[in-house]
């Protein structure tokens, strides 16, 4: 067995620092992956700093992982050495509950096993994520990455991509539909690209006029400055779906007012403090829906990757060596990244 090189946080106050450990011996259905790239998600930072009060230290974050299969367990049938693969937020689930049976492992009623800060269902060991050179995952939770895409740009699809793809599909984004995306960060920029590729009329909502040109480059048909009441009013009662990626606490009513009858506002950003409850009349008068959505199941994540392969979609990224992760966290807090940091794990193999 070879040593896995990683970066870990040892407590909520410390910066991430070099950390070494051994991955488990391959079980029958396990795939051994040499990690090439790992995206940097906001959840990584929340978890490293114990902001959700459930971190098991040391924590090795990272759940936007792309790598090459190096070897497989004796009963693996889907993958072989040399395959380009991805791993997202989940590495296991109970596989028997109603949600798992429907391929919605992210809603596993017995709790899915997170790629990091989760607990292995066999040994109870804490899982370590993709800020590491190697990964061992059951083949049922491994995704196939289209070879025509830049693998570094694929990494963020495994969380940011599927988090926006799933609600767009669930609520029918496509030709003839008017779809809003709120916020142009890691999630929002993927939402714009995906909704555009699905054929919807895409409107990006942002508070910063500086993002207008970029939003249009990414595929937005229109950009609305959400602080401008006149611009908002011009879109009243017109949206089929709005996907809200903003994680900061804010008033949802201005966006609910933009939905047409039976329209849906879906929340995918995870705020530290809840949004205030919206006005009930805004919902009942037009049978509007306020919904939430969590990443996506394994089958849907594969569907998303195949969709991105077909349409040539990847994330806009800034590549960093592992050694720059603490700096990247500080910049991420200031939204100073277009639009996702991706770690080049070769920086840990030297
Ligand atoms: Zn994530
Ligand atoms: Zn389950």
Q: 24 CA to middle of ligand 1, Å? A: 24
Average pLDDT over residues 261-276: 93
Q: What separation, in Å, do the N-terminal and C-terminal C-alpha atoms of the chain show?
A: 18
DSSP string, 152-211: HHHGGGGTHHHHHHHHHHHTT-STT-EEEEE--SHHHHHHHHHHHHTT-EEEEEES-GGG
Domains of the chain: 3-159+296-349 (3.90.180.10), 160-292 (3.40.50.720)
- pLDDT tens column, 191-200: 999 999 999 9
User: Tokens in use for 143?
Assistant: 């995704």
Q: What is the pLDDT of residue 50?
A: 95
Short-list 309, 337, 315, 314, CA closest to 325: 337
Query: How does residue 350 score in pLDDT terms, banded at 50, 70 and 90?
Result: confident
User: Tokens in use for 38?
Assistant: 């790992």
| Spatial contact of 226 and 232, defined as CB atoms under 8 Å apart | yes
Q: What is the pLDDT of residue 267?
A: 98
Q: What is the pLDDT of residue 57?
A: 98
Beta carbons within 8 Å of 234's beta carbon, 6+ residues apart: none
Short-list 121, 92, 106, CA closest to 159: 106
Q: What is the pLDDT of residue 195?
A: 98
| Spatial contact of 309 and 197, defined as CB atoms under 8 Å apart | no
| CB count in 10 Å sphere of residue 194 | 29
- pLDDT tens column, 123-145: 999 999 999 999 999 999 999 99
Give the distance, in angstroms, between the CA of residue 74 and the centroid of all CA atoms in the same chain: 31
Q: Torsion angle of alpha carbons 296, 298, 300, 303, nearest 10°? A: 140
What is the rounded distance in angstroms from the CA atom of residue 64 to the CA atom of residue 131?
Answer: 10
- pLDDT tens column, 185-232: 999 999 999 999 999 999 999 999 999 999 999 999 999 999 999 999
Q: What is the pLDDT of residue 219?
A: 98
Cα separations in angstroms, 248 against 89, 140, 179, 290? 22, 34, 21, 17
Angle at 51 between CA 46 and CA 54, to 5 degrees: 100
Q: 104 CA to middle of ligand 2, Å? A: 8
Q: What is the pLDDT of residue 308?
A: 98
Q: 64 CA to middle of ligand 1, Å? A: 7
Residues with CB under 5 A from ligand 1 (ion): 41, 43, 159
**Residue ranges in 171-315 assigned as alpha helix (H):** 186-197, 212-218, 229-233, 253-256, 280-284, 298-311
Average pLDDT over residues 326-333: 96
Q: 169 CA to middle of ligand 2, Å? A: 22
What is the share, in percent, of the chain residues with pLDDT greater than 70? 100
Q: 160 CA to middle of ligand 1, Å? A: 6
Ligand minimally distant from the alpha carbon of residue 121: 2
Cα separations in angstroms, 50 against 173, 180, 344? 35, 32, 25
- pLDDT tens column, 68-116: 999 999 999 999 999 999 999 999 999 999 999 999 999 999 999 999 9
Query: How does residue 1 score in pLDDT terms, banded at 50, 70 and 90?
Result: low
Q: Is the pLDDT of residue 270 over 90?
A: no
- pLDDT tens column, 241-252: 999 999 899 999
Find the largest Cα–Cα distance for the chain.
Answer: 63
Q: 215 CA to middle of ligand 1, Å? A: 22
pTM for the model:
0.97
Ligand minimally distant from the alpha carbon of residue 187: 1
């Amino acid at each position: 067995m070879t040593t896995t090189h990683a970066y870990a946080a040892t407590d909520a106050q410390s910066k991430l620092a070099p950390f070494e450990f051994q991955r488990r011996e391959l079980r029958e259905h396990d795939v051994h992956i040499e990690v090439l790239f790992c995206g940097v998600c906001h959840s990584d930072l929340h978890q490293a700093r114990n902001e959700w009060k459930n971190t098991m230290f040391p924590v090795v974050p990272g759940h936007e992982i792309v790598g090459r299969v190096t070897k497989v367990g004796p009963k693996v049938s889907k993958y072989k050495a040399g395959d380009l693969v991805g791993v997202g937020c989940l590495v296991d689930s109970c596989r028997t509950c109603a949600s798992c049976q429907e391929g919605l492992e992210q809603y596993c009623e017995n709790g899915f096993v997170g790629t990091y800060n989760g607990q292995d269902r066999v040994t109870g060991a804490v899982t370590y994520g993709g800020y590491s050179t190697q990964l061992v995952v059951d083949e049922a939770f491994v995704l196939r990455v289209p070879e025509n895409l830049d693998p570094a740009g694929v990494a963020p699809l495994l969380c940011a991509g599927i988090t926006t793809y799933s609600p767009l599909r669930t609520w029918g984004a496509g030709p003839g539909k008017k779809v809003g995306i709120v916020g142009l960060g890691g999630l929002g920029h993927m939402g714009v690209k995906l909704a555009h590729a699905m054929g919807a009329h895409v409107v990006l909502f942002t508070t910063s006029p500086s993002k207008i040109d970029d939003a249009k480059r990414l595929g937005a048909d229109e950009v609305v400055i959400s602080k401008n009441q006149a611009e908002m009013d011009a879109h009243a009662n017109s949206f089929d779906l709005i996907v809200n990626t903003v994680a900061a606490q804010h008033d949802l009513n201005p966006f609910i007012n933009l939905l047409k009858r039976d329209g849906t506002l879906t929340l995918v950003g995870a705020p530290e403090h809840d949004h205030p409850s919206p006005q009930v009349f805004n919902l009942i008068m037009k049978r509007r829906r306020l919904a939430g959505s969590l990443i996506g199941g394994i089958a849907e994540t594969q569907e998303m990757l195949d969709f991105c392969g077909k349409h040539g979609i990847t994330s806009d990224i800034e590549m960093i060596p592992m050694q720059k992760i603490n700096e990247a966290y500080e910049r991420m807090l200031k939204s100073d990244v277009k639009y996702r940091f991706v770690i080049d794990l070769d920086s840990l193999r030297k």
